Structure 1
Amino acid sequence: MSDHVYKKVELVGSSETSIEDAIKGAIGKASQSLRNLDWFEVGEIRGHIVDGAVAHYQVTLKAGLRIED
């Protein structure tokens, strides 16, 4: 196994349905323009409340991009 070097980028995903959808949306969109995405870590979870109910989820995450040899 060879050693790898990674660059971390910060992403913010949002969804009206779930935290998971917010994460998937951020990773999916980022993968359209960034190559070699290998992992992610969730840093913050926020939400928007309307009339006493959760209306929106927002997740800040960092994604690791493997630097090519």
Structure 2
Amino acid sequence: MAESTYKVVELIGSSTESWEKAASAAVEKASQHLRELRVAEVSELDMALQDGKVQAYRAKVKVSFKYED
């Protein structure tokens, strides 16, 4: 395997339905702007609350892509 370098960016996706959809939203947005995505890692999950009720599920996602000069 040839040597490669990858860059990692951290994104936060949100969804009113689930953490899974929140993470998917972050990856989908990243794929519109970055090429050659390699790995996505969910690093944190939380919820936005209002009046004691869940308003949104949020997923902090680290996405890696091949770094090119």
Matched-pair identity in %: 43
Aligned to 1:56: 56
> Cα RMSD (Å) of the superposition?
1.8
5+ residue gaps, structure 1, are none
Given the two structures, how large is their TM-score scaled by the length of structure 2? 0.84
Given the two structures, how large is their TM-score scaled by the length of structure 1? 0.84
How many aligned positions are there?
69
Q: In the alignment, does 2:37 pair up with 1:15?
A: no
Deviation at 1:55, TM superposition (A): 2.4
Distance 2:49 2:30 in 1: 27
Aligned to 2:26: 26
Distance 1:14 1:61 in 2: 11
Distance 1:51 1:7 in 2: 39
Question: Residue deviations 1:4-57, cap 9 Å, x none?
Answer: 211001111000000010011111011111111110111111102345442210
Contact residue 7 and residue 64 of structure 1 kept, 8 A: yes
5+ residue gaps, structure 2, are none
Q: More helix per residue: 1 or 2?
A: 2
